[in-house]
Amino acid sequence: MLLQRVITALVLLALLLPALLADSLLPFAALTLLMIGAAGWEWGRLNSLSAAGAVAMGGVVALTCAGAWWMGWAFAAPTIVWWVALVGWAIGGGLALRAGPKAWPQLPPAARLVLGWLMLSVAWLALAAAKQRGVGFILSAMCIVWAADIAAYFGGRTFGRHKLAPSISPGKSWEGVWSGMVGVGLLAWGWMAAEKVWSVAGPSVFSTLLAQRGLVLFVLGLVALCGLSVVGDLVESMAKRAAGAKDSSRLLPGHGGVLDRIDALLPVLPAVMALTAV
């Protein structure tokens, strides 16, 4: 299993890095369109669509994103899109988690599919928009999620006593959440310190947020991003638990599916764009 995870990660890295570093958006957008389409297929499967229906769901998501790209939204999407997504995730995600996995199947199938279509499409749009802000910006946005997840894992294993959402993800604890926030704070401090001596990759989310919003909103913004990363993770876990699935698919050997790898990014990327919008 470990060997599979390493090989899959290396293959993904070999594909993503050249696309990420390319000056043109085209290679990155094309590759991530395939991935978001696969995530749409997985969402359809998790929400009781037939094999053909799940494929259609993936196609609709990919075509929506391609249409937004064609309209120029990957370069200059209306700011209101990011704020609506942020508020929607904060309120809707909180209500969904409060209701729990038993309530999820009670939602009409059409509503669950529309929610998946919206959250995947907006997340891809935010990903493309972040790429336009520079390599440093998009990498730091992704690293917020990775740092929060890694710090939460070790903090939860070491200090975890109070369960966060036992009916959805029994392994998660409040101590893990706090540890994740500390991890992101340390990441932000280290990244901004490094930017002062080496800024080839361009401004990060951290320096941009601090410069635009000031220290208080900078701290609150990082806390909010960490919280949203947890919400994204738990919402996907809830959908899987309701469907009786361990992973969203087996597309990525050793890692599960695409949704399993990007769940926390779905709310964080639009939130990053909202918090740093001019």
- Per-residue pLDDT reduced to its tens digit, 89-119: 999 888 888 888 888 888 898 999 999 999 9
pLDDT score of 3: 62
Q: Which of 261, 190, 194 minimizes the C-alpha distance to 232?
A: 261
Mean of pLDDT values over 213-234? 95
Structure tokens given for 52: 């053909």
CA distances (Å), origin 86, targets 6, 227, 247, 266, 275 = 33, 12, 26, 10, 9
Per-residue pLDDT tens over the stretch 236-263: 999 998 888 888 988 888 778 999 999 9
pLDDT score of 2: 55
pLDDT score of 1: 56
Q: Secondary structure of the chain: what % helix, strand, coil (to 5)?
A: 75, 5, 20
Q: Which residue has the tokens 């050997």?
A: 253
Structure tokens given for 48: 């009781």
Q: Is the pLDDT of residue 208 over 70?
A: yes
Rounded CA separation 92/85 (Å):
10
Would you say the pTM of this structure is higher than 0.85? Answer: yes
pLDDT score of 200: 65
